[in-house]
Amino acid sequence: MRHDHVISAKDLSREGIEEVLDRAAEVAADPAAARGRQAGTLLGLCFFEPSTRTKMSFTAAMKRLGGDVVDMGSVESSSVTKGESLADTVRVVEGYADALVLRHPSEGSAKMASEYVDVPLINAGDGAGQHPTQTLLDLYTIRKSAGLDDLTIGVMGDLKYGRTVHSLAHALTNFDARQHFVSPESLQLPRSVRYDLHEAGASIREHTDLTEVLPELDVLYVTRIQRERFADETEYRAVAGEYQIDADTLAAARDDLTVMHPLPRVDEIAHDVDETDHATYFQQAHNGVPMRMALLDLLLGGDR
């Protein structure tokens, strides 16, 4: 891992990923040992889009390391409403914090913003682009439940706008993973992502029907249709409600299938799945804290 900006999963190597995952496993096994390691460190939070898990787990991680956060708050209550540019906002906030976490609706915004600051900048989602820290916690979860090598994974839902999908797909090219993408035709992977996956030598297949691949899968990663990214509400309604699973759907799956979801879910996983041994999405969300503790500590150079 380069100890600087975290912008795209394309920049993550297998070695870098394993370093973070190993450190996260250590933190999870002995959280008390990490306490105080970042005493006095401040993390700046700039979220220009809604967030529950990402923002709260970064906050929990920083506080559990003994540091604290300074939060821009909602866009409505910030100077953004006065017309401040993103470049100016991050240049100001870097003076208040030792690292920045940025979520923004424009693809490419994190890369652009990182060029204006010297402290590490972490992309917590740039539009339909990338969400690399979600990927690290996804990989941590997959490694724990199914293993990262000789993995058969199905990724279902909004593959066009889903930034967690784009990041995960890139990161998995570092491992021996067969990736099956299941979506309506209108929400297939963007051409640029498909191109990069081919370039990286990834084994990928695309499907419109989950039943074609479900019995083979070790992991099924379900995503929400990204309603806020549709230019046209009627286009959203045409695909909303498709690609849902329930406990009956999973009767055709292997007993040890791991079902993941970055959350929030809308209706793509029925609540009866929660009671099955397949459901891993709440654990997945919880894994965000040790993983982000590990990542922050590596970026900020914690003493061990």
| Largest distance between two CA atoms of the chain | 55
Q: In whole angstroms, how close is the CB of 83 to ligand NCD at the nearest point?
A: 26
**Of the two residues 37 and 166, which places its CB atom closer to ligand NCD in the complex?**
166
130-157 burial: b if 16+ Cβ within 10 Å, else e: bbbbbbbbbbbbbbbbbebeebbbbbbb
* Shortest distance in whole angstroms from residue 134 CB to ligand NCD: 5
Using CB under 6 A as the binding rule, whether residue 109 contacts ligand NCD is answered as no
Q: How many residues of this chain bind ligand NCD (CB under 6 A)?
A: 10
Helices 14-29 and 132-145: angle between axes, nearest 10 degrees: 70
* CB closer to ligand NCD, 141 vs 164: 164
182-209 burial string, b = 16+ CB within 10 Å, else e?
A: bbbeebbbeeebbebbeeeebebeebee
Q: Using the rule CB under 6 A, is 157 a contact of ligand NCD?
A: no
**286 is annotated as an active-site residue:** no
Among residues 23, 104, 143, 163, which is the contact residue for ligand NCD, using CB under 6 A? 163
Question: In the annotation, is 103 catalytic?
Answer: yes
C-alpha to C-alpha distance for 298 and 222, rounded to whole angstroms: 30
Answer yes or no whether residue 70 interacts with ligand NCD by CB under 6 A. no
Which of 5, 37, 64, 103 is flagged as catalytic? 103
Convert residues 189-228 into a mask of x (bound to ligand NCD by CB under 6 A) and - (unbound): -----------------------------------x----
Give me the amino acid identity at 290. Answer: P
By CB under 6 A, the residues from 275 to 294 that bind ligand NCD are none
Query: What's the CA gap between 15 and 1, in Å, rounded?
Result: 7
Question: Residue 202 has what DSSP assignment?
Answer: -
Tell me how far apart the terminal alpha carbons of the chain are, to the nearest angstrom: 17
> Quick one: which of 59, 89, 134, 179 contacts ligand NCD (CB under 6 A)?
134
| Between 23 and 224, CB nearer to ligand NCD | 224
Using the minimum distance from each CB to ligand NCD, give the nearer residue, 94 or 189: 189
Query: Which of 125/132 has CB closer to ligand NCD?
Result: 125
Is residue 262 part of the contact set for ligand NCD (CB under 6 A)?
Answer: yes
| Residue 54 is among the residues annotated as catalytic for this protein | yes
Nearer to ligand NCD, 94 or 284 (CB): 284
Catalytic-role residue among 5, 37, 131, 180: 131
**Burial class, 53, CB count within 10 angstroms (exposed 0-12 / middle 13-18 / buried 19+):** middle
Q: Are 156 and 220 in contact (CB under 8 A)?
A: yes
Minimum separation from the CB atom of position 35 to ligand NCD (A) = 26
The yes or no reply on residue 131 touching ligand NCD (CB under 6 A) is yes
To which residue do tokens 């297998």 refer? 14
CA-to-CA distance for 291 and 63, rounded, in angstroms? Answer: 14
Assess contact for 204 and 168: CB atoms under 8 A: no
Q: Which residues pair with 153 in a beta bridge?
A: 179, 219
Task: Kindly state whether residue 263 participates in binding ligand NCD, applying the rule CB under 6 A.
Answer: yes
The footprint of ligand NCD on residues 27-66 (CB under 6 A) is 53-54
Site of tokens 């992977």: 189
Q: How many residues does the chain have?
A: 304
Catalytic positions are 53-54, 82, 103, 131
Binding site for ligand NCD (CB under 6 A): 53-54, 125, 131, 134, 163-164, 224, 262-263
